[in-house]
């Protein structure tokens, strides 16, 4: 690892883009399912937004994974360093976050496909190409929803750990992931 103050800009951008996409994906599904359930014609485009944003989360998580691997050696040190066990746990959590944001959209897609529904992503509609199997559809629905709510808990732990390091330990963990501030000198 070389000494630098922040993550490479591309990694910072990808991290916060995925964060925004994830927030909007949850907001869309809650709006469609709970806010607009009495207005099907309004809820429909919001459901499509949920599928589209969910697919973007999958895509950007793939891009970010590749970029992360390519730029591994440019990741800055945490200063002052954190104990090894915390480093191992927080790194494991980051890996789980990547995997879970692959599993959630894939399970959402398989739920739709196995239930015989098409998947409209605005630019293209994917018609069910798998064998329709309502039991398998129900299985993927359970995976989709339970992983989506588990992931919210994992994000809270991940963000809480970063904020705790920033506020209590006063190390550079969070600053490394913040966009550069030109006015800060
Ligand atoms: C990271 C991406 C995604 C997240 C975080 C996410 C999150 C969620 C959550 C939290 C729910 C449950 C709402 C509730 O019942 O309280 C849900 C439902 C649903 N999601 Fe996703 N989703 C994602 C991607 C997708 C994708 C790509 C698809 C479609 C291909 C999809 C299709 C669905 C469907 C059809 C439901 C409704 C299930 C039902 O009617 O009970 N989701 N999603
Ligand atoms: C959708 C929500 C989030 C996901 C999926 C996520 C995922 C990740 C991943 C995979 C990394 C490893 C570096 C990379 O590949 O970019 C990371 C690093 C980091 N994230 Fe998040 N993150 C999320 C939200 C947040 C939030 C809300 C905060 C802060 C309040 C935060 C703070 C950080 C920090 C400080 C690092 C660098 C930590 C280190 O190097 O030890 N993240 N995040």
Query: pLDDT for 115-164, tens place per residue?
Result: 999 888 888 887 878 899 999 999 999 999 999 999 999 999 999 999 99
Per-residue pLDDT at 1: 47
**17-52 pLDDT, tens digit each:** 999 999 999 999 999 999 999 999 999 999 999 999
**Which residues lie closer than 8 Å to 28 by C-beta, 6 or more apart?**
46, 47, 49, 50, 53
Minimum CA distance residue for ligand 2 atom 26: 159
Per-residue pLDDT at 130: 86
Spacing, Cα 85 to ligand 2 middle (Å): 18
Q: Is residue 114 within 8 Å of residue 140, measured between CB atoms? A: yes
Q: 10 Å Cβ neighbour count for 64?
A: 19
Work out which ligand 2 atom sits closest to the CA atom of 165.
Answer: 35
- Average of per-residue pLDDT across 85-89: 97
Nearest in space to 144 (alpha carbons), one of 99, 104, 100: 104
Work out which ligand 1 atom sits closest to the CA atom of 149.
Answer: 10
Q: How confident is the model at residue 4 (pLDDT cuts 50, 70, 90)?
A: confident
**60-85 pLDDT, tens digit each:** 999 999 999 999 999 999 999 999 99
- 126 φ, ψ (degrees, to nearest 5): -95, 120
- 178 φ, ψ (degrees, to nearest 5): -90, 145
Q: How confident is the model at residue 185 (pLDDT cuts 50, 70, 90)?
A: low
**Which residues lie closer than 8 Å to 81 by C-beta, 6 or more apart?**
87, 171
Per-residue pLDDT at 3: 60
Q: Is the pLDDT of residue 2 over 60?
A: no
Work out which ligand 1 atom sits closest to the CA atom of 30.
Answer: 13
């Amino acid at each position: 690892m070389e000494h630098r103050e922040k993550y490479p800009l591309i990694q910072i951008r990808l991290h916060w883009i995925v964060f925004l996409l994830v927030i909007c994906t949850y907001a869309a599904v809650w709006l469609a399912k709970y806010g607009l359930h009495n207005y099907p014609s309004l809820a429909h485009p919001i459901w499509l937004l949920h599928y589209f944003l969910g697919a973007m989360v999958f895509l950007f998580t793939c891009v970010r994974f590749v970029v992360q691997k390519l730029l591994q050696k440019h990741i800055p040190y945490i200063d002052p360093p954190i104990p090894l066990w915390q480093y191992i746990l927080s790194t494991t959590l980051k890996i789980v976050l990547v995997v879970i944001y692959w599993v959630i959209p894939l399970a959402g897609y398989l739920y739709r496909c196995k239930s015989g529904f098409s998947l409209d992503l605005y630019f293209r509609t994917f018609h069910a190409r798998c064998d329709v199997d309502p039991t398998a559809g129900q299985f993927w629905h359970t995976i989709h929803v339970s992983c989506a709510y588990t992931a919210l808990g994992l994000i809270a732990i991940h963000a809480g750990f970063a904020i705790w390091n920033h506020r209590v330990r006063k190390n550079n963990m969070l600053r490394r992931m913040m966009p550069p501030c030109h006015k800060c000198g």
